């Protein structure tokens, strides 16, 4: 069955089907919900006889683990990471005669043509939970509402800036809001200056470092920062969305320059405003990237994001290849 969004939290605490498929482009939320399901059975996570984690197993392995007996009592939990279409047939067999176990399948984005998704959505013995990042148009409102729930007021331009500098993926968004709540303190109000200081324009994070290295033409630094970002658990789709946001803001400024504005005038018109620590870097990027080149870079990033959402795409490698290609292009342009 397809689970309605409003029922998700209750279901995670008390799952009532033997199989659950969690899928979507928000990989952080997929993993978070998978772990929540495991924890719905106290003690399972700490008991190797009750908990098994598999990474895209073959059919025989999944069937063997799902039907194995629990030697210490209590329901077994089998958590499958990186689930793919190859698991359709073993899942069909398990749903016909459900074992005394909870089978959790975690997957990337699955289109409407996915047989795995169709099976989970149609079977009464399975539940399908979709995990999508919050779209950019809704993100400022979501940020405002979540902070308001904690009695913190954020000014509209600060909410917009935050939305443009954090990913809509649940895990990354939650981390950013935790930082803002701590920063607000007793004042319980956040201005543009506050959020810029607290998040440091995307932070001195590896993701922002990778993006900055890409737009200023430093492939080696891009590669190092991306490796660190992946180690930190950042998703390729989230990274590419942040890169797209940066490229689009640069394109707006480049358009103003093409119409006769100076670099400083064009940069001053960027919204949200460029944090003062990055103004020299953005100036350098505007001197490197022409308007047509930015248009092409945006198109390449959009293609990469779309590709990374496909189930069988090696998303980390694809994101890395795209950003290194853009960084090399910027380096070559800077040398002219």
pLDDT per residue of the chain (336 residues) written in tens, 0 to 9: 999 878 998 999 999 999 999 999 888 789 889 999 999 999 998 898 999 999 989 999 999 999 998 877 788 999 999 899 999 999 999 999 998 899 999 998 898 899 999 999 999 999 999 998 787 788 999 999 999 999 999 999 889 888 877 767 777 788 788 888 888 888 899 988 788 777 754 444 688 899 999 999 999 999 999 999 888 788 888 889 889 888 988 998 999 898 888 888 888 777 666 776 788 899 999 999 999 999 999 999 999 988 888 767 688 999 999 999 999 999 999 887
Distance between CA 155 and CA 150 in Å, rounded?
Answer: 15
pLDDT at 269: 72
Decide the pairing of beta strands 189-190 and 19-23.
Answer: unpaired
Q: 53 near 44, Cβ under 8 Å?
A: no
Domains of the chain, start order: 5-130 (3.40.50.300), 139-199 (1.10.8.60), 206-335 (1.20.272.10)
pLDDT at 163: 86
Distance between CA 206 and CA 222 in Å, rounded?
Answer: 9
Decide the pairing of beta strands 51-55 and 76-81.
Answer: parallel
- φ, ψ for residue 129, nearest 5 deg: -120, 120
SS3 labels along the chain: CECCHHHHHHHHHCCCCCEEEEECCCHHHHHHHHHHHHHCCCCCCCCCCCEEEEECCCHHHHHHHHHCCCCCCCCEEEEEECCCHHHHHHHHHHHHCCCCEEEEEECCCCCCCCHHHHHHHHCCCEEEEECCCCCCCCHHHHHHHHHHCCCCEECHHHHHHHHHHCCCCHHHHHHHHHHHHHHHHHHCEECHHHHHHHHCCCCCCHHHHHHHHHHCCCHHHHHHHHHHHHHCCCCHHHHHHHHHHHHHHHHHHHHHHHCCCCHHHHHHCCCCCCCHHHHHHHHHHHHHCCHHHHHHHHHHHHHHHHHHCCCCCCHHHHHHHHHHHHHHHHHHHHHC
Close Cβ partners of 133 (under 8 Å, ≥ 6 residues apart): 25, 26, 29, 167, 168, 169, 170, 237, 238, 241
pLDDT at 104: 97
pLDDT at 148: 95
pLDDT at 327: 96
pLDDT at 200: 59
């Amino acid at each position: 069955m397809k689970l309605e969004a409003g029922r998700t939290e209750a279901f995670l605490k008390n799952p009532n089907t033997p199989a659950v498929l969690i899928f979507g482009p928000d990989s952080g939320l997929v993993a978070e919900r998978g772990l929540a399901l495991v924890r719905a059975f106290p003690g399972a996570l700490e008991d190797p006889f009750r908990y098994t984690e598999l990474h895209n197993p073959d059919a025989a392995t999944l069937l063997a683990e799902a039907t194995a007996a629990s030697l210490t009592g209590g329901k077994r939990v089998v958590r499958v990471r990186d689930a793919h279409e190859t698991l359709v047939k073993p899942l069909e067999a398990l749903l016909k005669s459900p074992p005394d176990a909870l089978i959790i399948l975690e997957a990337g984005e699955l289109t409407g043509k996915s047989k795995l998704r169709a099976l989970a959505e149609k079977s009464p013995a399975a539940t399908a939970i979709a995990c999508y990042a919050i779209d950019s148009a809704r993100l400022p409102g979501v940020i405002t509402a979540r902070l308001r729930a904690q009695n913190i007021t954020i000014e509209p331009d600060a909410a917009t800036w935050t939305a443009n500098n954090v990913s809509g993926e649940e895990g990354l968004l939650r981390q950013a809001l935790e930082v803002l709540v701590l920063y607000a303190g007793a004042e319980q109000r956040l201005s543009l200056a506050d959020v810029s200081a607290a998040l440091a324009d995307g932070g001195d994070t590896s993701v922002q470092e990778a993006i900055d290295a890409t737009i200023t033409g430093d492939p080696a630094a891009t590669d190092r920062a991306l490796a660190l970002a992946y180690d930190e658990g950042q998703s390729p789709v989230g990274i590419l969305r942040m890169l797209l946001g940066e490229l689009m803001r640069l394109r707006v400024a480049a358009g103003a320059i093409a119409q006769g504005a100076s670099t400083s005038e064009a940069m001053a018109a960027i919204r949200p405003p460029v944090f003062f620590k990055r103004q020299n870097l953005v100036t350098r990027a505007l001197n490197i990237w022409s308007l047509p080149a930015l248009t092409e870079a945006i198109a390449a990033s959009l293609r990469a994001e779309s590709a990374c959402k496909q189930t069988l795409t090696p998303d980390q490698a694809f994101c890395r290849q795209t950003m290194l290609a853009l960084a090399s292009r910027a380096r070559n342009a800077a040398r002219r």
